[in-house]
Amino acid sequence: MAGSALILGGGVTGLATGIASGFPVYEAADVPGGICASYYVRPGRAERLSAPPDDGEAYRFEIGGGHWIFGGAPDVLTFIDTLAPGRRYVRHSSVYFAQDELYVPYPLQNNLRYLKDGIAPRALAEMSSRTKSDWRTMADWLESSFGKTLFDLFFYPFNVRYTDGLVDRVAPQDAYKSPVQLSLAIRGAFQGTSAVGYNVSYFYPTDGLSALAQRMAARCTVVYGRRVVEIRPDQKRVVFADGSEEGYERLVSTLPLNRAMELSGLTVDTPEDPYTSVLVSNIGATKGARCPADHWLYIPDSRAAFHRVGFYSNVDPLFLPASSRDAADRVSIYVERAYQGSGQRPSAAEIAAYEQAVVQELRDWEFIRDAEVVDSTWIDVAYTWSWPGSRWVEKAMETLRRHDIHQIGRYGKWTFQGIADSIGDGFMSGAAFRAASQPR
């Protein structure tokens, strides 16, 4: 119809856009949700199940690791809780220094009393004397904000892993994730402090993220198995891997911005900003004697180069096989390792060797005993970054918009945002495109 639109991507942003607009959503996979989706694996098996088995004897995992729902407008949160009821949790996370077997509650800078003698006064002196400057790189900002002591101890080695070495080259971003407030740092050197950060509390649907995605999909039109291989902006047509094509007046894309530029053949006169891929390794295992109670840990010194270990089952025992939920003798874990984005994932042999190293390291730490499931997913575009002074995002989005291709969502706009904000983004865009399609 005149003013018609197509929506690319059946993650939560695309589904929300479809609900609000009434336009069809085209999704490459056979199920909705993208990386915000749950699956199940029985102990000792390799097959992924899209729903829990009748007897409940399976580990629950998430495709993209621990995707908890934080922030968001109240009306969006009400929508989520109405569609997929769940619980709200209070964050319990730490920095774990494996070599010293030391846990420091997150954020590190507000809990200096846990560190070795002499570190807290030195760190406080450095933080109190910091001066604002024109930081060029993320590493510059981290050292200036937290001082050399904490930078060398945690912030640099952790972010080397988190960015796979890009920390010395990319611009500072997402400062709110680890805020610097000197008064809290001083208090935390001697006593407990109030929790800070963007995810102090969070929400999670009882039936898993897939329940949310499936119930959203039921409210709109989703065409599955349609992977985009080309966008022809001059003809206003989308070509799919199965050989089919669709025309449009407006194209709403939740695809990563770099991918949308590549598929459309459009270019801008500035270098493309970088990204990191992440290998998410989901592990179901019998619990080790020293398994922590944290929801997740930030790791600056792992031998296998992973930067985060999360414990799904410490958030909720529903992530465990039914027979272990009361006894809590098993644990459901996700482990994240970053790779500089290149479009090239590790080989199957490399992934297998890495998984073996991860399991051995978790055993050495006594987090687990016997691994019953080890299942990994490659997330090609997982975290997005910017070069210092870059205008690539602005130019790329404007170039696409001039061709009636509108980028929305976390990866579409190349910015960090959570599930709730992504759904809100989709609702707003969907309503706008629906209004634009109406006859004047």
Determine the pLDDT at residue 439. 73
Determine the pLDDT at residue 425. 96
Yes or no: say if 37 and 209 are a contact pair by the CB < 8 Å rule. yes
Give the Cα-Cα-Cα angle 112, 117, 119 (nearest 5 degrees). 50
Contacts of 165 (CB under 8 A, 6+ apart): 340
Determine the pLDDT at residue 440. 65
Yes or no: say if 67 and 77 are a contact pair by the CB < 8 Å rule. no
Determine the pLDDT at residue 2. 42
Q: Is 169 helix (H, G, I), strand (E, B) or coil?
A: coil
Residues of the chain below pLDDT 70: 1-3, 132, 176-177, 440
| Number of helices and strands in the chain (H, E) | 13, 19
Phi/psi at 182 (nearest 5 deg)? -60, -40
Domain coordinates in residue numbering, the chain: 108-188
pLDDT in tens, 234-272: 999 999 999 999 999 999 999 999 999 999 999 999 999
Determine the pLDDT at residue 180. 81
Q: Is 389 helix (H, G, I), strand (E, B) or coil?
A: coil
- How do beta strands 405-407 and 368-384 pair? unpaired
Determine the pLDDT at residue 3. 55
Q: Of 272, 266, 260, 257, nearest to 228 (Cα)?
A: 260
Q: Of 367, 221, 171, 373, nearest to 283 (Cα)?
A: 373
Determine the pLDDT at residue 367. 98
Q: Is 418 helix (H, G, I), strand (E, B) or coil?
A: coil
Q: Of 202, 212, 205, nearest to 88 (Cα)?
A: 202
As a whole number of angstroms, the distance between CA 270 and CA 387 comes to 11
Yes or no: say if 324 and 353 are a contact pair by the CB < 8 Å rule. no
Cα dist from 398 to 150, 198, 393, 424, whole Å: 40, 29, 8, 22
Q: Of 320, 363, 90, 323, nearest to 204 (Cα)?
A: 90
Yes or no: say if 418 and 69 are a contact pair by the CB < 8 Å rule. yes
